[in-house]
Amino acid sequence: MGIKITLLGTGVGIPQPGRSQAAILIENDFPLLLDCGAGTLLRLEQAGAVLGPLDTVVLTHLHLDHVSDLLALANARYLSELSGLDVWGPEGTDAYFKIAQSVYPNLKKMEVAVHEVRPMDSFSVKGFDIFAEEARHSVTALAYRIEAEDKVLVYSGDSEPSHRVAALAAGADLLVHECSFPEPFEVTNHTTPRRLGNLLKNVNLKRVVLTHLYPQAQGQEEEMAREVAAQAGVPTETGWDMMTMVL
């Protein structure tokens, strides 16, 4: 069947129509969540996902718009008498979850395996081979290259334009990259269309989908994708919640 990818959340921490917070569901034989921001549980229900197999989450970083529904997912599994969670994330993930367990007694009653990942680490989970790379953000952050059945997905997480992330995307079937603000915004810790297009100009990849859009991007989504495509020479579109792709 290939890798099925559902963009559960393509927004940020500021509410806006049609965009939940960051989360991607990828499915091969088993499901895997990339990030788990607010609204993820609702989007999973809308996607028809079954709670039982959803026991593994890979986090890019620990900002609330990427992790706030992780605790809700853990609690839902506890209340449903399901097994615990397998959580992969950057340095600090273990401390984050231990603090949460000190506040919420339910989380102490279930098994949660936390695996801290560093740039250049490789691991395999749920039938996917994953390689981690450093992203450029305001906190410790990772991007991931995810492979299964000779197909490759790369997810930037939150990042300024980064040559390390661009190298990670070489040869990928799909790059899901944040593009938080339209032109002519000048920002740090995030990416804009022209800077992303310039970054990807000489990168051999098949398709780019933009995610993590701030409210300032409303009404400019198609123009943002055109700008990236014009600069990079790669087919590009802007993602929306519940957008589904198969590699």
Q: What is the DSSP letter of 229?
A: H
Q: Is the pTM of this model over 0.95?
A: yes
How many domains would you assign to the chain?
Answer: 1
DSSP 8-class letter at 174:
E
> Percentage of the chain surpassing pLDDT 90?
95
Percent of the chain with pLDDT over 70: 100
**What does the pLDDT look like over 113-158, one tens digit per residue?**
999 999 999 999 999 999 999 999 999 999 999 999 899 999 999 9
Digits of tens for pLDDT over the chain (247 positions)? 689 999 999 999 999 999 999 999 999 999 999 999 999 999 999 999 999 999 999 999 999 999 999 999 999 999 999 998 999 999 999 999 999 999 998 888 888 999 999 999 999 999 999 999 999 999 999 999 999 989 999 999 999 999 999 999 999 999 999 999 999 998 999 999 999 999 999 999 999 999 999 999 999 999 999 999 999 999 999 999 999 999 9
In degrees rounded to 5, what are phi and psi of residue 7? -80, 100
State residue 154's pLDDT score: 98
Q: Which are the contacts of 134, defined by CB distance < 8 A and separation ≥ 6?
A: 119, 141, 142, 143, 162, 164
Q: How far apart are CA 11 and CA 8, in angstroms?
A: 10
Owning domain of residue 167 = 4-246
Half-sphere exposure of 34 (CA within 13 A, CB side): 29
Looking at residue 141, its pLDDT comes to 98
86 three-state secondary structure: strand
Residue 1: per-residue pLDDT: 65
CATH code (residue 41): 3.60.15.10
- In angstroms, the Cα distances linking 191 to 61, 160, 194, 199 are 16, 5, 9, 10
